[in-house]
Amino acid sequence: AMDRGGYAPDLPEVVTLTQTTGWPQLDELLGAVVADLHGVFGDRLFSCYAVGSAFDGSGVQSSDVDLHLLFKGAHSACLKQAVREFSAELSKKHGVDLDLIPFFESDIKPWADVRTKLGGIQIFGKCSPEVLVLPPMDEYVRENMHRAYFYMARVRRFPDTLCFPVSAPDCQDTFCGYNSRVHDDGCPSTKELVVVAGWLSTALVTRAARCYIASKSASYAGYRKHIIDEWDSHLKDVFELAREKWNYRVPETDEERSKLAGICQRQVAFENHFLGEYRKFLQEEIAGASLLHAERAARLLRELFPEQGGVPVSKQGFLVPAWQVSTKGRSLDPRLTSVDHFIVKVPSLRNLSDKALREVFQRWEEFGVVVFACKDTLDLKYDLLGLQQYFGQVVFHPRSGKTGITSVRNLFKPEQGFAGTTNAMQTPHTDGSFLLRPPGIVALQTEICGLCGGESTLVFGDSLYRHMANHYPGDLQKLFQDNAYTIGRGGDRCTRPLFWREDGRVHLAYRCGNGEELEISARARLGFNRVYEFVNAPANQLRFRLPANHVLVVDNHRNLHGRTSWPADTVRCLNRLWLDGQGGHDSYPGLGMRVS
């Protein structure tokens, strides 16, 4: 995702911090870390904040050094992965446990991370704290409640289902599995105990008192101030004993080890207490105005409380059949239950019978997508070109051959900006958004589907449009502006709307998170972020494996497509074809979505 072959030759080994932490030795360390970060990420890194207990005076010997990195431009999954990888390298180089958390310009506006805003020290860059705006309280409470549940699942290694009441992460362990981490010297660490307790207390305090919490120590202090119940003494033991006195370590004396074991057992009970409050929160979400939040809450209620919900929870831990949605996020949209709706069986893509063509166009009008299940043929690419008879002329891709077909596979030398040359995940997008007139049709033909990974992802544009129209109509209209965003890759660059109207239908062109260059207008940024949130939510996606000699044909002005990653040593090969979508057949429905 990033070229990390070497540092800039004129960059100093240590950067002078814009603000001191108050500890000269720590300032020197941070100056060296920031110099390394800037050497790798260049000017895209425009600000860096030091946050957490290492800087607010509440740290202990084993505390991480937490840095929030603010990057220019839109959210990038590739850059996030590069930060994660580089975090491990820098930790080893500088002999300190660094936790680098990336944020993006599209994320921090209109609101910012609370710890950055209220508890951060700006040590590098130009982004003034005054431009960081706190999130709305309802959003903040929602984020903390869900995040606390996430950390409960993480300490249990993300089981397929998590039902109330929960048991200990490891029922066979004296310390209930909360000592799963290790210190640098190999000794067990109880940091997971403190982390989970901290997030649970933060969530409960923000919901009860509707206040912002900027640190672990503030969460404990807030609990003592705003919530007086039987769990106050437990949190006191977690923070004052497990964290401060024992420094995240398992104590040596039998008396103290017995005390820690009791704290860990009490933690399990505290987590079940939280789940009781979480259930009330989810019920409130269902009764709220947001359909997206209500659907998520209903799914979580069914999973966590299957008996109370009256809906059996399906097990998700098995291999998924080829033609079945492969995500845990379920939706009320019946199109997201199976790809069977879109399949048309044909001997070849050339000279389709009138019956087959009627079936194809019927599915096209209804869904904007067709999957052709073809018989074996000696020349797959020749067969693929037969789609021109029904869906218009070839549009050439920068990497396509003379026929217009592009090979999509994991090359030995990936090309910068072209995710199709790697085995990395592609988030849902429309092709050719860099062009003023994107191709109308994207066809993907599988030669070798691979043993695992590489699942196709579909997001239906009409569902996205209705979501925006129902919940954020003002933001939706700003995405129709001609200068909503500018997108570039290589030599292609285009300033365009995300939605536009044409021939009585709505069309879309969207891409974010696949290595492109993005500049989003200030007016459209909030709407763009809401689109990003919708298309990347598993509940709004259909995921499926495309078997060999099947062809996925997508209306590129109506629906978004993507794929999951696959192992680098897995052989996988697809053929891609762009068409203009100007089909000449009398029954061809055309491009775009019909919306009222």
Edge-first strand listing for the sheet containing 45-51: 98-104, 65-71, 45-51, 121-125
Give all strands (DSSP E) within 231-368, no chain letters.
343-346
CB 524 within 8 A of CB 478: yes
Nearest-5° Cα angle at 106, 204 to 132: 60
H or E stretch including 448? strand 441-448
Instruction: Calculate the CA dihedral of residues 344, 348, 350, 351 and round it to 10 degrees.
Output: -70
- Neighbouring CB atoms inside 10 A of 454's CB total 23
Structure tokens at 259: 């005390």
CA distance 104 to 113: 11
The pLDDT of residue 551: 95
CB 279 within 8 A of CB 304: yes
The pLDDT of residue 50: 84
Question: Following DSSP, what letter does each residue of 371-385 receive, concatenated?
Answer: EEEEPP-S-HHHHHG
The pLDDT of residue 34: 86
The pLDDT of residue 63: 57
Edge-first strand listing for the sheet containing 517-520: 492-496, 485-489, 517-520
CA distance 236 to 10: 50
CA distance 150 to 532: 21
Instruction: Calculate the CA dihedral of residues 492, 496, 500, 502 and round it to 10 degrees.
Output: -50
Reported residue count of the chain is: 596
Per-residue pLDDT of the chain (596 residues), as tens digits, is: 333 333 333 445 667 887 777 778 888 888 888 888 888 888 788 888 888 765 555 544 555 678 888 888 776 767 877 887 788 788 878 877 788 888 887 666 555 678 777 777 888 887 665 667 788 899 899 999 999 998 999 899 888 778 999 999 999 999 999 998 887 677 889 999 999 999 999 999 999 999 998 877 788 889 989 997 889 999 999 999 998 899 889 999 999 999 999 999 999 999 999 999 999 999 998 887 577 788 788 888 888 988 654 333 333 322 222 223 333 333 447 677 778 888 999 999 988 888 899 999 989 998 999 999 987 666 888 899 999 999 999 998 877 788 889 877 655 455 555 555 677 788 999 999 999 899 999 999 988 776 667 889 999 999 999 999 999 999 999 999 999 999 988 778 999 999 999 989 999 999 987 778 899 999 999 999 999 999 998 889 998 888 888 999 999 999 999 998 877 766 778 899 999 999 888 889 999 998 86
Going by C-alpha positions, the residue among 587, 588, 475 that lies closest to residue 531 is 475
CA distance 314 to 317: 9
CA distance 456 to 451: 14
CB 587 within 8 A of CB 358: yes
Nearest-5° Cα angle at 338, 408 to 288: 110
Q: What is the CA radius of gyration of the chain?
A: 26
The pLDDT of residue 202: 95
The pLDDT of residue 68: 84
What is the pairing mode between strands 65-71 and 98-104? parallel
H or E stretch including 315? none
